[in-house]
A and B are shown apart, each in its own frame.
Chain A
């Protein structure tokens, strides 16, 4: 079972990276952009099990390690099909043969 954890800075915390990207988008001709917030995505593969129990465990992981509650918020999402989605083939250099 695969989950994604999204970690972002809290609304009350200034995000200079987001601000810089917003400025860049503006100069590139996207004035409609109102705000950009930058965060990180952490992909976690878990042993298959019950989803609600897994969510509780993941949220605990967020509180303890993955996010710093003083400055960051987090959100946990599960991938649509727990067993269906498999790793895609690596796309880097292959044997030229």
Chain B
């Protein structure tokens, strides 16, 4: 019997010839990360347990991205605990405000993740890095504390679901539409405890940015990790990382065997996937954007760890350039990193967005989780390119969040209601 890519990476990390779904393993960690919400709790547990030393100061990333720049005095106190810990333990990859970005955009973009790596993070969207053919999964603070001390983690090897996307995505359809549609098909626990392996000709046509978006949302189906096999686009992405970085030097390429065992194989015709929006209050509540034109909105958020990469901002700018955000709408851009900001300046993306009437934030998770930079009031409604639309997620529990792609979010910002690019006169286009 063959192995899946997930099983092969975990076997390597566990130092075994092979592992199979259901095995409990102790595996070596290539990178462990936490943020300003999860790290303070982890630090408290680490110290309470009497640990005095981290396993490797170069393999830990501490990323203050959620409530930074500090949103209030208590958040400032939490960020301070993390900063002091980072200094005390000489954590190499601590990113101060001004250099920090949203963790799941920042870490792969700075070359800290290589194919075949095992990454654990005290943040549920750690599953993002499957886009570079790594195994990555989210955990809690105590698990992160243990990983910091031990350099290992215990894992149950997950079964895999293979998603095969055939055909070519239609006009304006992106990886975000594919993943929202997929979660709509299988539900928010449709991949509970399992690996989501994305494959098929449609996946090959997706940009790396879109693959990050798809893997990022594996957790919204309950998945342990999302993963895309290595190809020419992966190589190109990795080669563009900083010289000497892990991404350039440490990769180990694995691929699923033809006779690998899957819990389930799901075939999806990508050419039939509509521009998709997930309605409140679950990411699985998927609907066609075209059917939601009567939903008026107060706010649009474009960015986050799901869609805060430069390609996402360019997609938004393609719709908004030369036009004006609707009078009743606040459009907020949450870029993934400082580099994304610089790229957006260099090619005029930022100017187009600001001229259209968007507010351009510094990189932060901010509004996605109702922290700051765009909290919703009772009864308000937003279209967001983020990942969750739970009750209270973006502010008041009486607010509503509709999840969408940057194209649909930008079109909705112009229209003042949920809209497609064609609704706002953009004709037929898209990323391909």
- Report if A and B associate in a common complex: no
Interface residues, chain A, with chain B CB atoms under 8 Å away: none
Interface residues, chain B, with chain A CB atoms under 8 Å away: none
